[in-house]
């Protein structure tokens, strides 16, 4: 490949299992597109599927609250494992 | 998860995800997109939403700012103060739902400096006034178009909430207007 093509290839989305950040970006883009299309069910799907580690989940808890995490049905396993069950209702 | 607030919440969550990945190609553009969608939601909430809805968006934004941007003690102090004031406003909203209770409460406000056009400058009215001032100050700072649009939408909503709350005070306290 030429240098130009290689550079383009690097900036394209990589659907890599080890790159949750890139996957989240993809999901956010899909979520925003769903919003624009008025497809709020699809938007909610995209939001739910974002990968969040223990720290991210704590962030979400501080911004949107424990109830929001429960109502959205987010995957709380990384935080359950790191902080123990009940982290949602505890002050961490 | 229906309703205006649920969708606004998700846009705030997208903002969090985008800020976390801001160094990636295209993330800044998507952040701008997400923020302009937040403006759309704020306008919708201002048009159809309740005073409680407007308080809730201000609460979420303060919590988000505290999480992402509070890298100085003065800012943390300011935002935690704002959150405390919002809690006070929410409390007032509950109280004014009971006309008799609010009537007794309002009887304690007799001094001109504690009244606004004859009705109590209670903690809800105080919050709306302080928040309007804060947002006016923010509008004088340098920021990108999307962030500025958010500040303008928020200010319009807070002013609307203040007017709506004052209407309720007049109604509950038996004013002619």
- What is residue B115's three-state secondary structure? strand
Q: How far apart, in whole angstroms, are the C-alpha atoms of residue A63 and residue B56? A: 12
DSSP conformational letter for A14: -
Q: With beta carbons less than 8 A apart as the criterion, state whether B158 and B128 touch.
A: yes
pLDDT band of residue A18 (cuts 50, 70, 90) is confident
Interface residue A21 vs chain B (CB under 8 A): yes
Q: What is the pLDDT of residue B134?
A: 97
Q: With beta carbons less than 8 A apart as the criterion, state whether A63 and B12 touch.
A: yes
Q: How far apart, in whole angstroms, are the C-alpha atoms of residue B9 and residue A60? A: 10
Using alpha carbons, select from B90, B63, B89, B86 the residue that is nearest to residue B76: B63
Tell me if B1 and A71 make a contact (CB, 8 A cut-off): yes
- pLDDT over 70 (residue B2): no
- pLDDT over 80 (residue A14): no
Using alpha carbons, select from A13, A73, A7, A57 the residue that is nearest to residue B6: A73
Tell me if B24 and A29 make a contact (CB, 8 A cut-off): no
Burial of A5-44, coded b for 16+ CB within 10 Å and e otherwise, reads eeeeeeeeeeeeeeebebbbbbbbbbbbebbeeeebeebb
Tell me if B30 and A24 make a contact (CB, 8 A cut-off): no
Q: What is the pLDDT of residue B175?
A: 80
Closest partner residue to A59 among B1, B7, B16, by Cβ? B16
Closest partner residue to B27 among A25, A35, A64, by Cβ? A25
pLDDT band of residue B49 (cuts 50, 70, 90) is confident
Interface residue B11 vs chain A (CB under 8 A): yes
Q: What is the pTM of this model?
A: 0.91
Mean pLDDT, residues B45-50: 93
Mean pLDDT, residues B13-17: 98
Interface residue A28 vs chain B (CB under 8 A): yes
- pLDDT over 90 (residue A11): no
- pLDDT over 70 (residue B121): yes
Interface residue A24 vs chain B (CB under 8 A): yes
- pLDDT over 80 (residue A77): yes
Tell me if A64 and B37 make a contact (CB, 8 A cut-off): no
Q: What is the pLDDT of residue B78?
A: 96
- pLDDT over 90 (residue A10): no
Q: What is the pLDDT of residue A5?
A: 57
In this prediction, what percent of chain A has a pLDDT beyond 90? Answer: 78
Q: Give this complex's ipTM.
A: 0.93
Look over chain B and give the mean of its residue pLDDT values, rounded to a whole number: 95
Tell me if B34 and A32 make a contact (CB, 8 A cut-off): yes
Q: What is the pLDDT of residue A13?
A: 47
- pLDDT over 80 (residue B109): yes
């Amino acid at each position: 490949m030429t240098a130009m093509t290689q550079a383009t290839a690097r900036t394209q989305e990589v659907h890599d299992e080890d790159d949750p950040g890139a996957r989240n970006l993809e999901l956010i883009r899909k979520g925003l597109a769903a919003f624009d299309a008025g497809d709020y069910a699809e938007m909610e799907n995209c939001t739910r599927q974002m990968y969040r580690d223990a720290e991210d989940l704590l962030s979400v808890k501080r911004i949107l609250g424990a109830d929001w995490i429960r109502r959205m049905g987010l995957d709380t396993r990384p935080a359950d494992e790191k902080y123990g069950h009940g982290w949602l209702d505890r002050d961490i | 998860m229906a309703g205006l607030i649920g969708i606004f919440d998700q846009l705030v969550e997208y903002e969090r995800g985008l800020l976390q990945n801001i160094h990636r190609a295209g993330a800044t553009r998507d952040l701008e997109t997400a923020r302009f969608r937040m403006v759309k939601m704020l306008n919708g909430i201002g048009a159809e939403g309740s005073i409680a809805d407007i308080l809730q968006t201000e609460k979420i934004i303060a919590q988000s700012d505290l999480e992402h941007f509070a890298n100085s003690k003065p800012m943390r102090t300011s935002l935690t103060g704002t959150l405390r004031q919002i809690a006070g406003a929410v409390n007032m909203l509950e109280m004014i739902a009971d006309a008799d209770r609010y009537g007794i409460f309002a009887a304690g406000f007799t001094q001109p400096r504690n009244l606004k056009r004859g009705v109590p400058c209670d903690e809800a009215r105080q919050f709306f006034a302080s928040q309007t001032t804060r947002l006016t100050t923010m509008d004088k700072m340098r920021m990108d178009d999307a962030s500025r649009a958010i500040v303008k939408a928020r200010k319009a909503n807070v002013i609307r909430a203040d007017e709506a709350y004052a209407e309720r005070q007049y109604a509950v306290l038996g004013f002619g207007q």
